[in-house]
Amino acid sequence: MIQIQLNGKPYKIDEKMSVSDLLSKLSLTEKKVAVEINEEILPRENYNKKILSVKDKVEIVHFIGGG
């Protein structure tokens, strides 16, 4: 296991976990969130490709609909 920072808090994940894997583990839908890694927004098409590393700072923002 490795430790990342998730929304400002320490969080342990499996090694070689992609952003898509993390979102699945958190029961989040890719289409309803934006992901920032180390202060850079990650394009949705790269969620499967980006493997998280030790000490990555991950911020996940949820989109909320309304009217």
pLDDT digits (tens, 9 = 90+) for 8-61: 999 999 999 999 999 999 999 888 899 999 999 999 999 999 999 999 999 999
Domain ranges of the chain: 2-62
Model pLDDT, residue 42? 97
Contact 9, 61 (CB under 8 A): no
pLDDT digits (tens, 9 = 90+) for 8-21: 999 999 999 999 99
Is the domain spanning 2-62 CATH 3.10.20.30? The answer is yes
Mean pLDDT of 1-12: 97
Model pLDDT, residue 29? 87
Contact 63, 44 (CB under 8 A): no
| Residue of 48, 54, 41, 55 whose CA lies nearest to 23 | 48
Q: Is the pTM of this model over 0.85?
A: yes
The alpha-carbon radius of gyration of the chain (Å, integer) is 12
What tokens were used for 28? 């989040």
